[in-house]
Amino acid sequence: MNNVKAYSAASAKSPLAPTTIARRDPAEHDVQIEILFCGICHSDLHYARNEWSDVMPTIYPCVPGHEIIGRVTKVGYAVTKFKPGDLAAVGCLVDSDGTCPQCEAGLEQFCPNMVLTFGSQDKQLGGGTLGGYSDTIVVDEHFVLRVPSNLDLAAAAPLLCAGITTYSPLRHWGVTKGKKVGIVGLGGLGHMGVKFAHAFGAHTVVFTTSPSKKEDALRLGADEVVISRNADEMAKHVGSFDFILDAVSADHDINAYINLLRIDGNLTLVGAPDKPLSIPAFGLIFGRRSLSGSPIGGIAETQEMLDFCGEHNITADVEVIPIQKVNEAYERLLKSDVKYRFTIDMASLRSE
């Protein structure tokens, strides 16, 4: 067992603060990674503050972080995919049973026994699994991803959650050229959704509450931008969308978006507000529209997404911060003041 530096929250009301945590020694199939960059997902904030207490009560102390890129420092003797010195990445999943039909289909995100990078029970060490706001992490090689060598590492880290969480539903719902696609909320997830929808050839429309993000939305690949608080702008799009991806982190009027779907159109929620959303039946009935959700993606699809990003030179737009600024970054997330993902340079943790 190794003791390593990390940042953790001790309770829903306490800020993240420096601490020391235990990491297991790499077992036969494990890869030990020195973390170089870790993105800040809004899920980190929801979880650290126990906002999902009904579904997933937080295990304290909690170390968030599931957008991890680093360098391999040690491998177990049976590891074949990685060797010390390789770049490696870890997303939201660190284990699953490997035997259920979902795992056999490469859909580990639906495994009943999946282990999340933070917030699951740690079978080896007890307590909760601890995430990437830390010096190192030890993960079974099946859950470790390869990073295309042409990508900037700080900007690639957010692909491990924001990237796969938007790539997967856009692929699942057949977003291609000729489709009209909406992306709601231009934060970490939303801006990756725009990049992918654009790369897949769809006519891409961004819905934002922040007029100051309009120019950026166009630069990121949007064909049109709608200020969602403007009812006239919204009305122009009624009944016209094949697919809408909702990446909003807080309570909002989802019916306004259901009404924008065409017949048989689908709205998929990836945003996970703490409070239930109100869904009027008629918005769905008229137009046989459907409403879905989507969690992250499986390991094979995550690798596919990373390779796609390597081929098309796609990364997140990041503001790189030292870990000492993580609490400030959380406050800015709550004000939608992020362009468009914070990434922690983990060298700042080691120099403390």
Contact residues: Zn ion, CB under 5 A: 41, 43, 161
> Does the footprint of ligand NAP cover residue 180 (CB under 6 A)?
no
Rounded to a whole number of angstroms, the minimum distance from the CB of residue 219 to Zn ion is 24
Beta strand 30-40 with 136-140 is antiparallel
> Does the footprint of ligand NAP cover residue 185 (CB under 6 A)?
yes
Q: Which is nearer to Zn ion, 22 or 59 (CB)?
A: 59
Options 128, 271, 298, 310; binder of ligand NAP; rule CB under 6 A? 271
Reduced 3-state DSSP string for 312-341: HCCCCCEEEEEHHHHHHHHHHHHCCCCCCE
Q: Which is nearer to Zn ion, 159 or 161 (CB)?
A: 161
Beta-sheet strands, E only, within 252-317? 261-269, 290-293
> Does the footprint of ligand NAP cover residue 134 (CB under 6 A)?
no
Interacting partner of 247 out of ligand NAP, Zn ion, none (Cβ under 5 to 8 A depending on kind): ligand NAP
20 within 8 A of 6, measured Cβ to Cβ: yes
Tell me which residue of 218, 219, 217 sits closest to 247, measured CA to CA: 217
Q: How far is CA 288 from the centre of its chain?
A: 30
Contact positions with ligand NAP (CB under 6 A) in 96-125: none
- Other C-beta atoms closer than 10 Å to the C-beta of 124 total 14
60 within 8 A of 10, measured Cβ to Cβ: yes
> Does the footprint of ligand NAP cover residue 270 (CB under 6 A)?
yes
Number of residues that bind ligand NAP (CB under 6 A): 32
> Does the footprint of ligand NAP cover residue 248 (CB under 6 A)?
yes
- Select the span of 5-13, 76-84, 204-212, 323-331 touching ligand NAP (CB under 6 A): 204-212
Interacting partner of 129 out of Zn ion, ligand NAP, none (Cβ under 5 to 8 A depending on kind): none
> Does the footprint of ligand NAP cover residue 188 (CB under 6 A)?
yes
- With 0-12 / 13-18 / 19 or more C-beta atoms within 10 angstroms meaning exposed / middle / buried, residue 348 is middle
Which distant-in-sequence residues (6+ apart) come within 8 Å of 289 by Cβ?
Answer: 258, 261, 263, 264, 265, 266, 267, 283
> Does the footprint of ligand NAP cover residue 249 (CB under 6 A)?
yes
Options 107, 189, 199, 314; binder of ligand NAP; rule CB under 6 A? 189
Q: Tokens 């200020």 label which residue? A: 227
288 within 8 A of 263, measured Cβ to Cβ: yes
Q: Which is nearer to ligand NAP, 50 or 165 (CB)?
A: 165
Give me the residues that bind ligand NAP (CB under 6 A), please.
41-43, 46, 161-162, 165, 185-190, 208-210, 213, 247-250, 252, 270-273, 294-296, 333, 336, 338
